Amino acid sequence: MTDTVYDRATDERPLFRVREMREQGALDAALSEDRAYAAYALAHLESGLFERARFWTAEGAGGTGVVMHATAMGRTMVVGGDPAAIDAILSLHPGPRTTYLSTCAPEHVRVVRRRHALSATLRMARMSVTRAAFSAASGAVRRLRGADIGILNALYALEDAPNPYTAAHIELGVYCGAFEDGRLLAVAGTHVVAPRASIAVVGNVFTHPGWRGRGLATAVTSGVTAELLDRGCALVVLTVDPENTPAVRAYTRLGYETGATVIEARAGRRDPLGVGAWLRRRAARRRAARQDGSAEEWTPGRAPADDGGEAL
């Protein structure tokens, strides 16, 4: 943590030292206050994902923060920490023109909206389970393999189908299905499995519309969770709409506990050409040279109470 430093030219706003962080151990420590909340960022410390992610940290009198911009699972952004610190990072490094804000706390929304226009906003709940808390559900399920890709994509295509999955995607993740007479009726899978961080994120849970309410989603989620825990994941995480009471109850029966509220949204940079961020980076580097002679970036940050920004 830096000493208390204020920028006298900018209304006494606290200054933050902003820098790109590539030391994985330091990032793991910075993200570990709430590992379930930070699951996507922690997962990107994994080899193969880390190379396609950039992590920015801010330290100052107003606290600390981390912002991740990544491309391995589509363009995604994760923000965590003190709002003023996040403001400092995003003022200099707002990321690509468009991205998906996959993890953001409610208190961060005003800060993010200073630099990004948000749409399709969701208020979700992060849930997580450990081996000690896990309680497996009954029901026959089997692990899906690459050879099952045709029936898997056909099931997802019944409602709001994502882009078709590939056989390699299924092999690299963990997917379980529930069948009747050879017909795939329900599936659950993973967004990411990260042995280095000992964490995995469950998702893509879907049941055939004609077979809902029979516990199939619970069974396949249980199957995926059990395999992930058997692989040595210390924490298995998922995100759910808190208004989806049946799903929350099902996950709770498996031992998942509700944690932080998470905001998700599509994000478009308000300064598409990035001119403002470039000018602020130049000023931040000049300020750092005056402050401590370093080649880093020092910039002020504002907490949400400092402006009248629109809330969620």
Range list of β-strands (E), the chain: 15-21, 53-60, 63-70, 76-81, 98-103, 116-129, 142-143, 176-180, 183-194, 199-207, 235-240, 257-269, 297-300
| 113, 148: one domain | no
Per the domain annotation, does 39 fall within a domain? yes
Of 235, 255, 275, the last residue of a domain is: 255
Q: Using an 8 Å Cβ cutoff, are 127 and 258 in contact?
A: yes
Residues of the chain with pLDDT under 70: 1-11, 161-163, 293, 295, 305-312
Which range of residues forms the domain containing residue 182? Answer: 134-255
Vertex 123: Cα angle to 114 and 31 (nearest 5): 70
* CA distance linking residue 85 with residue 17, whole number of Å: 9
| 240, 297: one domain | no
Q: Using an 8 Å Cβ cutoff, are 254 and 136 in contact?
A: yes
Q: Quick one: what percent of the chain has pLDDT higher than 90? A: 81
| 208, 238: one domain | yes
| 19, 58: one domain | yes
Per the domain annotation, does 220 fall within a domain? yes
DSSP 62: T
- CA 152, chain centre distance (Å): 25
Q: Using an 8 Å Cβ cutoff, are 287 and 7 in contact?
A: yes
**Percentages of the chain per state (helix, strand, coil), in multiples of 5:** 35, 35, 35
| 276, 232: one domain | no
| 182, 244: one domain | yes
β-bridge partners, 182:
none
**What integer pLDDT is reported at residue 10 of this predicted model?**
44
| 244, 279: one domain | no
Residue 234 has which token pair? Answer: 């210390």
| 38, 79: one domain | yes
DSSP 85: H
Q: How many domains does the chain have?
A: 2
**What integer pLDDT is reported at residue 161 of this predicted model?**
62
- CA 201, chain centre distance (Å): 9
| 197, 287: one domain | no
Per the domain annotation, does 179 fall within a domain? yes
Closest C-alpha among 119, 83, 81 to residue 99: 119
Per the domain annotation, does 55 fall within a domain? yes
| 29, 70: one domain | yes
| 215, 287: one domain | no
Per the domain annotation, does 251 fall within a domain? yes
Q: Strands 142-143 and 176-180, how do they pair?
A: antiparallel
Per the domain annotation, does 244 fall within a domain? yes
| 138, 247: one domain | yes
**What integer pLDDT is reported at residue 291 of this predicted model?**
73
β-bridge partners, 78:
68, 103
Q: 191: domain CATH number?
A: 3.40.630.30
Q: Using an 8 Å Cβ cutoff, are 117 and 91 in contact?
A: no
Per the domain annotation, does 311 fall within a domain? no
Per the domain annotation, does 95 fall within a domain? yes
* CB neighbour burial string for 140-160, b if at least 16 within 10 angstroms, e if fewer: ebeebeeebbebbbebbeeee
